[in-house]
Amino acid sequence: MVQEVFIKVWEDKTTFQDENHTTGYFYKAVRNKCLNHLKSKRHQLTERYADQNIKTYETEEFLMSEAVVVETTVIIENAIKELPDKAAQVIRLSIKDYTNDEIAKKLSISVNTVKDHKKVAYRKLRNLLGFLRQVLL
């Protein structure tokens, strides 16, 4: 949905007065795109959501929490990109619930090396993402 909104803005060559208008526009555009999708006939036929569940997804609170999740995911992904390559690979696999043994086998490294990469990654991520604690708490 987000990608479709960005493509539409790019194709229409939409211009904005300032950054505040841009952010608000994208939030509303994505929100409306998602709501239209949830209400569409095709979606109602293919998905198992009851009408009462769709109403839950239409609430401002739900949409704002989803926006926070998306933005936080982007921030975390950008922080992971700043890690050394192996440490980033280890963290991504760890996020996918791989065990240290599974990560070691997949990357052809020792379990102790996995633990070392995690230690380095967590230290750097704490520094890069420390501000999120105040924002999210």
DSSP characters over 83-128: S-HHHHHHHHHHHTT--HHHHHHHHT--HHHHHHHHHHHHHHHHHH
Q: What is the structure's pLDDT at 57?
A: 64
DSSP one-letter code for 120: H
Identify the structural domains of the chain with CATH numbers, from first to last.
1-58 (no CATH), 71-137 (1.10.10.10)
Q: How does pLDDT run across 82-107, given as a tens digit for each residue?
A: 999 999 999 999 989 999 999 999 99
User: Residue 81: what residue type?
Assistant: K
**When comparing pLDDT for 7 and 48, which is higher?**
7
**Residue 110, helix vs strand vs coil:** coil
**Does the CA dihedral 125-126-131-133 come out positive or negative?**
positive
**Cβ pair 2, 31 in contact under 8 A:** no
DSSP characters over 56-90: HHTSHHHHHHHHHHHHHHHHHHHHHHTS-HHHHHH
Q: What is the structure's pLDDT at 56?
A: 65
Q: How does pLDDT run across 44-72, given as a tens digit for each residue?
A: 555 555 555 666 666 777 777 778 788 88
Cα–Cα distance for residue pair 1/56, rounded to 1 Å: 19
pTM for this entry: 0.53
Q: How does pLDDT run across 104-131, given as a tens digit for each residue?
A: 999 999 999 999 999 999 999 888 887 7
Which tokens is 64 given? 């704002």
**Does the CA dihedral 1-57-134-121 come out positive or negative?**
negative
Q: What is the structure's pLDDT at 83?
A: 92
Q: What is the structure's pLDDT at 27?
A: 79
Mean pLDDT across the stretch 16-32?
Answer: 76
Burial 4-22 (b: 16+ CB within 10 A, else e): ebeeebeeeeeeeeeeeee
Q: What is the structure's pLDDT at 81?
A: 92
